[in-house]
Structure formats: structure tokens, C-alpha cells
Amino acid sequence: MNVLVINCGSSSLKFQVIDTESETLLAKGLCERIGIDGSISYENVARGLDKKTTATAIPNHKVAIELVLSAITAAEDGVVSSLDEIAAIGHRVVHGGERFTKPVLIDDDVIKGIAECADLAPLHNPANLTGIEACREVMPSTPMVAVFDTAFHQTMPSKAYMYAIPLKYYEDYKIRRYGFHGTSHAFVSAAAAEYLGRDISSLKIIVCHLGNGSSVSAVKNGKCVDTSMDLTPLEGLIMGTRSGDLDPAIVEYIANKEGSSASDVLNILQKKSGVFGLSGGISSDFRDLWKAKEEGSDSARLALEAFSYRVAKYIGAYAAAMNGVDVICFTAGVGENDGNVRADILSYLGYLGIEMDAEANKKRGAITDIATENSKVRVLVIPTNEELAIARETAALCG
Ligand code: ADP
């Protein structure tokens, strides 16, 4: 069946059309600067046509959806001849709170539930809902599924998700670890088991999703038992511009020093920190950091070293949490493409019996095992595909 996958942000909307029987990507595109001025890019992948970008007014998400639907049905380069050929729509939803532990068919009650979780993801859930509402208006009889970034992590035991703060904060406000990138962690851990020809229910897997946003998860017997992101995606690894772990007292300390507020400091921790902040503002992009390091930048070297060190610490912690590890997976922009970062991380892990195959570590594209035959742990580079995962879940509920 053809599934339209929608990933709606506050001012952008990414989309793909996927044939779930053959698992082929038919078309993809992006609406940007929604509510500002607007542009849509669209690519008919099935026919290998060039991407085309058109500047056009996009005052709101409903207009964006209308543009997407006319792009995919256009006579000249559409991928379906009418909207009847779109059997279902899958929506990425960032926060599902404790209520949504798996993908669900969207109805009024689910929409209410997503709205109730907006408190926990004020930037994302309202944008996701706008996309859902816009699709409902334009294609009211097409079934829609919500796939949550947090759902895969809902299997964590309470000892992993609870904070050592007064219990009432959990009871009153549901403050706890939720975790994000769940669709990717689920997809990659399942792909690892399949690639190795092993049953996931007998594997201990650590997935390192290293992109602009980064997180690690421990997947034991197919279930997530711990993950590094938290109530929000700020905790855990050092990211492109997010700080990851730090002492919460730092927030008040900086605010007092600079006469600013807690939210000003949090904004800095979200947008000006991570490898960008640590490198002295060189870049959040690892390609720029390696270049700067080669040119002698000490702060770029520090940012790269600190990034890998933090990942290695989490791998150590999760190997302890699972009493061992069979497979380590690297995925997302940095994890899939940056062999130097992978080599740096693995250089800390000799004690686990890991041996990297330097030649295999240079390959790119398909799933690759970058550990030597003698290595006691398999190390896999696995391209993530969150859209395909959303399309699969959507087809499973609508088929
Ligand atoms: P997002 O979290 O936005 O989905 P991605 O997973 O696409 O991010 O990762 C984007 C990041 O991946 C870039 O900021 C860059 O640091 C890194 N990256 C992409 N390509 C390469 C490459 N060839 N070498 C090193 N790093 C790369």
C-alpha cells in the first residue's frame, strides 16, 4: 500500500510517499518557512527525477498539506494519479507521554491525548497536531496513524526512568525519563538482529544514534531498558548544539553571573552548546570540526574528543546495565558517516573485547559489520530510516 509519511515541525513539514509492499520510496519533499514566506521542494524518486524547489506562500500547515497533495498527484511528475491511491497517512509525533506505548490509529480521543502531552513537548506536539488536523480536513476518510518518538522507551523499568527527586513531582507532573529517537532505536536494533540472523529476544544491543541530536539506548531482548535522553531531548550525549548532561546548579550559577533568567540559560544549553559551544562556536557540523582540527584548532579537537568520550562512557554504563553487550550499532548523520568518530569511541572499548576492522570502518552506505572476526562484540553501522519505520507501522495498523 502507498503510505504518506508526514513529519511536521513548527515551520516545516517533511514528507515521503512509500510503497510498503516493496518498501520503495516513491517521492519525498519538504515545505519550509511555513507562516513566514514559504517554499516546497519535491522529488519524484521512483522516476529518478531531479528535485525541484518552488517558492510559494505557505501561510499555515493546511496550505502546506494541500501543496504536498498536489505535488504527489501532479500530472507531470506526481507519483499517484489520485489521492485514492494513498491508502493511509503516518504521522511522526514527538511525545506520547506514558499513555502511548505503541503506534495508534488516530481518532478524536488520540488527538486529545496528543494535546495533553503538549506540556511535555511544547515546541513539537502542537506542530505535530497541526499536521494531523490539516490532513484530516483535506483527506477526512483516509486512516491516519500516530507513531511516537517516546513509545519504544516505555518498556524502561522504573529504576531507569525515575529521578531521585521528591516523588510528588512524578505523581503531580509526570517528571521522569521518557527518551526520544525511539523510532530509530527500534528500527536499528531490529535491523541489527535481522542482519546477524539472530533472534532479538536473545540479544543485548546498544544503539548509538549520533546526529545533530544524539542519544544512546540499551536494548535487552528486544526491549529498551535505558536511554540517554530524558524528559526533553537535552540530557545525555554532547550534541550539535545541546549540552547533554550537566550539573543542574549550573543554570542558576550562570543566570546569577549574567543577570539572566533560567529560560535564557536553557536556551543557551539548547542552541549554543554541544560541540558548537565547546569548539568556541566553530560549527555544530562534524565535517567542519574535523577540518578545523586538521588546521590546528584546539577547541575543535576538544569538542571532538569530548563527544566521543561521552558516548564511550554511556556505552560502558549500558553494558553494565545489561550485564554485557552483544552488538553496538552506530546510526544517523555522524554515526553512519564519520568513521573517525566511530574509531575514537571504539578506542575506549578494548576491555569489552572489541576489535575494529579499520578497512570495514571506511565503507559507507549499506549495513556494515566493522568489527574483526575475533571481536567479542559485533559493531554494526546501520543507516536509520525513521520514515520507513513509520510507514511500516502505519501499514500494519491500516492493512
Ligand atoms: P538530525 O538530528 O537533524 O536528524 P542527522 O542525523 O541528519 O541529524 O545528522 C546531521 C549531522 O551529521 C550533521 O550536522 C553532521 O555533523 C553529521 N554528518 C553528516 N554527514 C557527515 C559526514 N559525511 N561526515 C561527518 N559527519 C557528517
DSSP string covering 225-244: EEES--SSTTSSS--SS---
**Residue 185 Cα to ligand 1 middle (Å):** 17
Tens of pLDDT, residues 301-349: 999 999 999 999 999 999 999 999 999 999 999 999 999 999 999 999 9
Which residue's CA is minimally distant from atom 20 of ligand 1?
333
* Torsion over CA: 154, 384, 3, 197 (sign): negative
Among 7, 215, 287, the mutation site with the greatest number of ligand 1 atoms within 8 A of its Cβ is 287
Judge whether 246 and 203 are in contact, CB under 8 Å. Answer: no
In a domain, residue 169? The reply is no
In a domain, residue 214? The reply is yes
In a domain, residue 188? The reply is no
In a domain, residue 173? The reply is no
In a domain, residue 390? The reply is no
Ligand 1 atom closest to residue 332's alpha carbon, by position in its atom list: 6
231 and 337 in a single domain? The answer is: yes
Tens of pLDDT, residues 60-73: 999 999 999 999 99
Among 208, 331, 334, 382, the mutation site with the greatest number of ligand 1 atoms within 8 A of its Cβ is 334
User: Can you tell me the distance from the alpha carbon of 168 to that of 145, in angstroms, rounded to the nearest whole number?
Assistant: 33
**Residue 338 Cα to ligand 1 middle (Å):** 9
Question: Whose CA is closest to 393, among 48, 52, 143?
Answer: 143
Number of domains in the chain: 2
Q: What is the pLDDT of residue 120?
A: 87
Residue 52 has pLDDT above 90, yes or no: yes
In a domain, residue 281? The reply is yes
In a domain, residue 161? The reply is no
pTM comes to 0.95
24 and 107 in a single domain? The answer is: yes
- Considering the candidates 77, 84, 149, 199, report the single residue annotated as catalytic: 149
**CA 315 to mean position of chain CA atoms:** 18
Which residue's CA is minimally distant from atom 3 of ligand 1?
212
Tens of pLDDT, residues 171-203: 999 999 999 999 999 999 999 999 999 999 999
213 and 97 in a single domain? The answer is: no
Judge whether 319 and 358 are in contact, CB under 8 Å. Answer: no
Judge whether 219 and 155 are in contact, CB under 8 Å. Answer: no
Which residue's CA is minimally distant from atom 19 of ligand 1?
333
127 and 8 in a single domain? The answer is: yes
333 lines ligand 1 (CB under 6 A): yes
258 and 132 in a single domain? The answer is: no
Question: Whose CA is closest to 103, among 308, 390, 313?
Answer: 390
* Full domain range(s) for residue 65: 2-148
In a domain, residue 212? The reply is yes
334 lines ligand 1 (CB under 6 A): yes
149 lines ligand 1 (CB under 6 A): no
23 and 138 in a single domain? The answer is: yes
Share the mean pLDDT of the chain: 96
14 and 127 in a single domain? The answer is: yes
213 lines ligand 1 (CB under 6 A): yes
Judge whether 83 and 156 are in contact, CB under 8 Å. Answer: no
Q: Based on the residue annotation, tell me whether 19 is a catalytic residue of this protein.
A: no
User: Can you tell me the distance from the alpha carbon of 300 to that of 393, in angstroms, rounded to the nearest whole number?
Assistant: 40
**Residue 70 Cα to ligand 1 middle (Å):** 31
- How much of the chain is in helix, strand and coil states, percent to nearest 5? 40, 20, 40
258 and 367 in a single domain? The answer is: yes
285 lines ligand 1 (CB under 6 A): yes
Which of helix, strand or coil describes residue 318?
Answer: helix
30 and 105 in a single domain? The answer is: yes
214 and 355 in a single domain? The answer is: yes
205 and 270 in a single domain? The answer is: yes
Ligand 1 atom closest to residue 290's alpha carbon, by position in its atom list: 25
Residue 256 has pLDDT above 90, yes or no: yes
267 and 125 in a single domain? The answer is: no
Tens of pLDDT, residues 71-105: 999 999 999 999 999 999 999 999 999 999 999 99
Domain CATH code at residue 48: 3.30.420.40
Question: Whose CA is closest to 29, among 76, 83, 75, 65?
Answer: 65
